[in-house]
Structure 1
Amino acid sequence: MYFPYYYDPYFYLVLIGMVLCLLASGRVKTTFAKYSKVRSMSGLTGAQTAERILQNAGIYDVSVERISGNLNDHYDPRSKTLRLSDSVYNKTSVAAIGVAAHECGHAIQHDQGYVPLKLRGAIVPVANFGSSIALPIILIGAFLVGSQTLITFGILLFSAAVAFQIITLPVEFNASSRAVRILDDTGILGEDELRGTKKVLSAAALTYVAGAAASILQLLRLVLLFGGRDRD
C-alpha cells in the first residue's frame, strides 16, 4: 500500500494550467465586450445571420434557438439545434454575428461529415467517463490498494479526456475559418468589421488552446507522480 504524499513537487503544472485558462477567459470576455459595442452595417442579428448562413449552405433541418446566459453558444449535433445566448441571439454587433457564424460553421461541419468533428463525437462517452472517474481510480490505486495496474488504467482514462481536448482544436479553428470566409463571401460584414470579428474568434480559440494545454499539463503531472511506480 502507498502512503499519502504531503508534498507534490509537480503541482506547479496545475497552477500553470489554471493561469493559462484564466488569462484566456479574461481575454475572450474583454474582446467580446469591446466588439459587442460595434454595430454591424448590415443590421442583422445573430439569429438572422445564422438563418441566412444555413440557408445559403442548403441546410434546412437545423433550428436556431435562444438560450439564456452569456458566451455559452453551441451547436448540438444530436438534435441539430444551434443555440445562441442572450448576448448573441438578437444583437446586431460584429461580435454577435461572428459567434453566430462560428456556430454555423459547426453545423456545416456536421452536414459535410467533417472527420475531426465525427472523431470528437465518437470519443465523447469515453472522454466524459474518463474525466469523471480517472482521478478517483488513480487515488484508490495509489493510496488504498497499492496497485500500479489500477493507476495506469486511471491515467489511460484521463488520457482519453486529454485526447478530446486536443481533437477539439482543429474543429474549433476550422469553424472559425469557415465563419470568416462565409461572412466575407456573403458580404454580411465589411472588411473593417471582419477585423473585429476575427479578434473575437481568435480570443475564443485561445480558450480551447488553454484548456488543452491545462489538460496536457495535468496528465504530465499524473505520469510524473504515479507513472513510474511499480509496487504491484
Structure 2
Amino acid sequence: MDFLAFLGPYGPLILIVFVASMLIQGYLSRTYGKWSRIANPHQLTGAQVARLMLDENGLQHVPVNAVPGQLSDHYDPVRKTVNLSQGNYAVPSVSAMAVAAHEVGHAIQDKVRMPALVLRGRLAVPLSLGMNLAPFLLLAGVFLQLTGLIWVGVLLFGAALFFHLITLPVEFDASRRALAYLNERGLNGSSDTANGARTVLTAAALTYVAGFAMALAQLLNVLGIARSRSD
C-alpha cells in the first residue's frame, strides 16, 4: 500500500491543503513580524488600543490582560476578558494595534449577542470533544469492521466542519469592526499603516479559511472510506 492510498481516497487533496496551510502560516508569521517592528502613528500599545475601543463601546467592565505566548491573543466570552499576548499587550506596533482591535471586535459581538458567536460558544465544548474522538472512532470502526462506528466518526468530522464554518463569519466580522474603528478614530494615520493593519488581519483570516478547507478535505476523505466499507 503506497502512502497516498494509506491516507484514503482524498489523500492528495489533504496533502495539498496541508501544504497550503503551512504556507499561510508562514505568510502570517512574516506579515505579523514585519508590522510588529513598525510603530503605529499614535504610539499606542495593544493594551491602550483595546482599552480605548472597549471604553468607547460601553465595555468599561471588560479587562485587558496580558497572556504568555505569541499570537495567543483571544477574547474569553465566559470570563468577559480581552487577552493579548505579551508582544501585543505592551508594544506600540501596527500589528499590536490591529490584533487588539480585532479581539475587542469579539467583545462587541458578545455585547450585541451576534448569533454566530453565541452558537459557536454553545457548541465549542461538545464539538471539541467530538473532534478529538472522531479519528479514534473512525480507526476503531475500520479495524473492527464496524460500519456503524465508522459513520459515527464521519458524523463527528461533519460536526468539526460545521464548527469551522460558523467560525468564519465571526472572525471576518471582528476584523471588519476592528478596521472600521481604527479608520473612524484616525488611529491608522497614513494609508500605509492602514494597509499594514488590513494585511495583518487578512493574513490571520486566511488561517481560518485554511482550517475550514482542511476540515472539508478530511470530511470528504472519511466519507470515501465509509462508503468503501459499506459496499
CA distance in 2, matches of 1:50, 1:229: 52
What displacement does 1:229 show?
A: 2.8
CA distance in 2, matches of 1:109, 1:163: 20
- The answer to whether the 8 Å contact 2:9/2:221 transfers is no
Aligned partner of residue 66 in structure 1, secondary structure: strand
Alignment of 1:146-161 (within 5 A): 146-161=145-160
Judging changes above 3 Å, is the alpha-carbon distance between structure 1 residues 26 and 6 closer, same or farther for their aligned structure 2 residues? Answer: closer
Say if 2:185 is the partner of 1:186: yes
Task: Could you tell me which runs of 5 or more consecutive residues in structure 2 were left unpaired when the two chains were aligned.
Answer: none
CA distance in 2, matches of 1:8, 1:49: 47
- The answer to whether the 8 Å contact 2:10/2:217 transfers is no
Aligned partner of residue 82 in structure 2, secondary structure: strand
CA distance in 2, matches of 1:172, 1:20: 20
Task: Could you tell me which runs of 5 or more consecutive residues in structure 1 were left unpaired when the two chains were aligned.
Answer: none
CA RMSD of aligned residues (A): 1.5
CA distance in 2, matches of 1:7, 1:88: 39
Say if 2:147 is the partner of 1:141: no
Aligned partner of residue 83 in structure 1, secondary structure: strand
Say if 2:220 is the partner of 1:220: yes
What displacement does 1:9 show?
A: 4.2
Of all paired residues, the percent bearing the same amino acid is 42
Q: Match for residue 173 of structure 2?
A: 174
What displacement does 1:137 show?
A: 0.9
AA aligned to 2:159 is: A
Judging changes above 3 Å, is the alpha-carbon distance between structure 1 residues 134 and 170 closer, same or farther for their aligned structure 2 residues? Answer: same
What displacement does 1:6 show?
A: 5.3
Of 8-17 and 113-122, the range deviating more from structure 2: 8-17
- Structure 1: which 4+ aligned runs deviate by more than 4 Å? none
Say if 2:40 is the partner of 1:62: no
Q: Match for residue 113 of structure 1?
A: 113
Alignment of 1:38-57 (within 5 A): 38-57=38-57
AA aligned to 1:56 is: E
What displacement does 1:148 show?
A: 1.4
Judging changes above 3 Å, is the alpha-carbon distance between structure 1 residues 187 and 6 closer, same or farther for their aligned structure 2 residues? Answer: closer
CA distance in 1, matches of 2:11, 2:60: 49
What displacement does 1:191 show?
A: 3.8
What displacement does 1:13 show?
A: 2.3
Q: How many residues align?
A: 226
- The answer to whether the 8 Å contact 2:14/2:214 transfers is yes
- The answer to whether the 8 Å contact 1:64/1:83 transfers is yes
CA distance in 1, matches of 2:110, 2:9: 43
AA aligned to 1:216 is: L
Judging changes above 3 Å, is the alpha-carbon distance between structure 1 residues 177 and 152 closer, same or farther for their aligned structure 2 residues? Answer: same
What displacement does 1:216 show?
A: 0.6
CA distance in 2, matches of 1:214, 1:194: 31
Q: Match for residue 24 of structure 1?
A: 24
Q: TM-score, normalised by structure 2?
A: 0.93
Tell me the alpha carbon deviations over residues 70-99 of structure 1, each in whole angstroms, 9 at most, x when there is no partner. 111000000011110122001111111000
Of 61-70 and 219-228, the range deviating more from structure 2: 219-228
Q: Match for residue 77 of structure 1?
A: 77
- The answer to whether the 8 Å contact 1:17/1:215 transfers is no
